[in-house]
Amino acid sequence: MLVLQRGEADIVQTPYGRKGFIQGSEMKKQRESQCTQKTISLLSPLGTIQVRGCENGVHTIQILMDVAPAESRVLQVLLRDVKFGETVSYKRLAEMAGTPRAAQAVGGAMRRNPVPLLIPCHRVISSSGQSGPYMSGKGDHLKQWLLTHERQGREG
């Protein structure tokens, strides 16, 4: 199961990097104590989406998806460790996820990534530096655009 959560730091990973803001825990406690929190669960093609918040805003968002444990680990490492404007090879991502001989399995996890807008699989490239396929080859131009956009955003 893969859990994507927005919580303590109020930082959200997007295809364009980590966005959002960080609040001190005291401010967060104050904000939460001043409201009546509610949790709703929504069924989606991705899995169950749980949203917790109040009239002051959203406190957490969790997406609970059925993903194989090895794929979940790869997707979490990608989300956590490969920053905006950076790329990583399939082989290196496999090593980072603790499975150094599983570069092809990493490619499979990228193909089956259920939320490419949240988990930036476009940042995974071949060891030769070629961008490789994106969205089963149908989105190669989009992958190139995203990588160029992030590179320029990081430099500027």
Residues 60, 73, single domain; the answer is: no
Residues 30, 74, single domain; the answer is: no
Residues 50, 106, single domain; the answer is: no
Residues 89, 141, single domain; the answer is: yes
Residues 91, 44, single domain; the answer is: no
Please identify, among 17, 41, 65, the residue that sits at the C-terminal boundary of a domain.
65
Q: What is the mean pLDDT of the chain?
A: 79
Cα 88 to Cα 95: distance, rounded to the nearest angstrom: 11
The arithmetic mean of pLDDT across residues 1-16, rounded, is 44
pLDDT at 15 over 60: no
**% the chain with pLDDT above 90:** 38
pTM of the model: 0.67
The arithmetic mean of pLDDT across residues 142-151, rounded, is 93
Residues 79, 58, single domain; the answer is: no
Domain count for the chain: 2
| pLDDT number for residue 125 | 96
The full length of the chain comes to 156
8 confidence band (pLDDT: 50, 70, 90): very low
61 confidence band (pLDDT: 50, 70, 90): confident
Residues 40, 88, single domain; the answer is: no
67-80 per-position pLDDT tens digit: 888 888 999 899 89
Residues 75, 148, single domain; the answer is: yes
Residues 84, 137, single domain; the answer is: yes
Residues that are catalytic: 121
- Domain carrying residue 55: 2-65
Residues 92, 43, single domain; the answer is: no
